[in-house]
A and B are shown apart, each in its own frame.
Chain A
Amino acid sequence: MPLRPARVGRVGVIRAPVAKTAVVAAAVRPGPAPVAKTAVVAAAVTPGRVGRRRI
């Protein structure tokens, strides 16, 4: 399926090859289950909790 003609011959906006983000590798590293990790982050970013960082 070809792209629309309007896209051809135009200067692009993505100036360089996109690198795969390192997040993918970090997401599959061993450790607590993602759900547990999400709960930890949610707790950390919840305002007003003593001893927690606030973002």
Chain B
Amino acid sequence: MTQAPEGRPPWDAGGSEQKKPLLSVRDLVQEFVVRQAGGTRGGVVQAVSGVSFDIMPGETLGIVGETGSGKSTLARAVLQAPRPKSGSVRFREMELTRLSGSALIAARRHMQFVWQDPFGSLDPKWQVRSIVEEPLAAHRAGDRNTRRKRVDELLDLVGLDPARYAKRHPRELSGGQAQRVAIARAVALEPSLLICDEAVSSLDVLIQAQVLNLFERLRRELGLSYLFIAHDLALVKQVSDRVGVMYLGKFCEVGPGELVYKQPLHPYTKALLDSIPSTEPGAARATATLTGEPPSPISPPSGCRFRTRCPRAQDVCASEVPQPRELGPGHLVACHFPLSQPAPAGTGPAVVPQATTQATAKAQG
């Protein structure tokens, strides 16, 4: 059980000191004031509370968590839209939090976004060609003819035949095709980082697989890095080198994908993994699914934020905020009683293992 070595930030990618990270986020905090009726201050939503991570060139960091865990807020804070309350975002050796105006726009050229709803992010009145060409025109990349050629290349890259699709409008596309157009637009300026916020969640499973393979091909061919956000754990595992698990605005566990999924250290990660329906009939049904729902981010629990739903919670969990510790190579966990240790004596009954309820028995029987 070693503390993160001196001088190395706690959420750093293990064993890659020689390379400089593409994106380096430190102690990022984002808060929103909630107004009650009449505009009085109702409270502060602590959406992201001190998150740090690095993404190396060509690396994919996946982020999983429930609704309201702050995944999307984190992504937007990285993009500076809106700006985070405090913390640092270094991207390509530039401190984005201090950039503004044209300098920020120039920096964002290398950092592109793909959102969940492709139709919401494509102008319904524009042709596919104009949609994909827009970023090129906005950043004055080449003259009209070269831009046209580039659009054809891009559509080809994402698997859409330019002759058939360039003149269509978004409404004439299926969900998967529209998402491909959004991806073509995002990679038009050859960014070094693509931030995908639930980018394939709204797609049917067969189309989803096609788009995931496209992401994988772009990673190989263009050397893209990804910040890949999704609530589906298996999906995130499929594309990620490292995975971070978020709960109420904080990382509870970060590590290499294989390690996090095979030997989860945080009880929350374990609970998430146990909730996944398996394709084995009844076999891998959760014996202890999480009960209850995440507490309000306006008044998060003291100490460890997961303690109210945690089966291993003790007194210390309420009084002390667990600091990230490196328990394996590059595998960090913020928990007083990680799963690598035996359960503490007198474990609270916060989660009662639902040992074969009637329903479970039926599904298995």
Determine if chain A interacts with chain B. Answer: no
What residues of chain A have their CB less than 8 Å away from a CB belonging to chain B?
A: none
